[in-house]
Every structure is written in C-alpha cells, then in structure tokens.
Amino acid sequence: MGCHGEDGSGSDAFPRLNGQNPPYVVNQLMNFKTGGRTNDNKGLMQAVAKRMNEQEINAVAEYVTTLKEAE
C-alpha cells in the first residue's frame, strides 16, 4: 500500500497491482528477489522482495489479485 496504493492502483511512479494474475506477480517478485529484474527505481522493489520468503510472496500474489479499484 505504501507504494502501490491502498487499492493497488499504483501511480505514475509505481505500477498497478490490483487484478494482476498471481503467477505473474510471483514471477516478478522472485525475479526482483534473485536479481533477475533490476529495472526498479533505486532498487526499491528488490529491497522489498529480498525480505520476503516464498510463502509470503505467494500470499501477497493471491491477495493483490483480489484488490479492486476504489470507487
């Protein structure tokens, strides 16, 4: 929420996550975690993903897919 927004809608600096399909989210988080993806501004996302274990990554991937755009 701190970066991607309460409803996961993102902003001009942070991508939208709400409704994203879980396998894509898991793959991106694993890529950030392992250094396979390093295009994030100031390594912000790599720092977050490195602190997460696989169970947490799977949990938030399932969660963000349930988020809806705030009315």
**Which residues bind to ligand HEM, rule: CB under 6 A?**
2-4, 14-15, 17, 25, 28-29, 39-41, 44-45, 48, 60, 64
Measured distance CA(69)–CA(19) in Å, rounded:
9
User: Measured at the alpha carbon of residue 50, what is the angle toward residues 49 and 55, in degrees to the nearest 5?
Assistant: 65
CB of 34 to ligand HEM, least distance (A): 14
Where does 1-71 have alpha helices with state H? 22-34, 44-50, 54-64
CB of 69 to ligand HEM, least distance (A): 16
CB of 71 to ligand HEM, least distance (A): 23
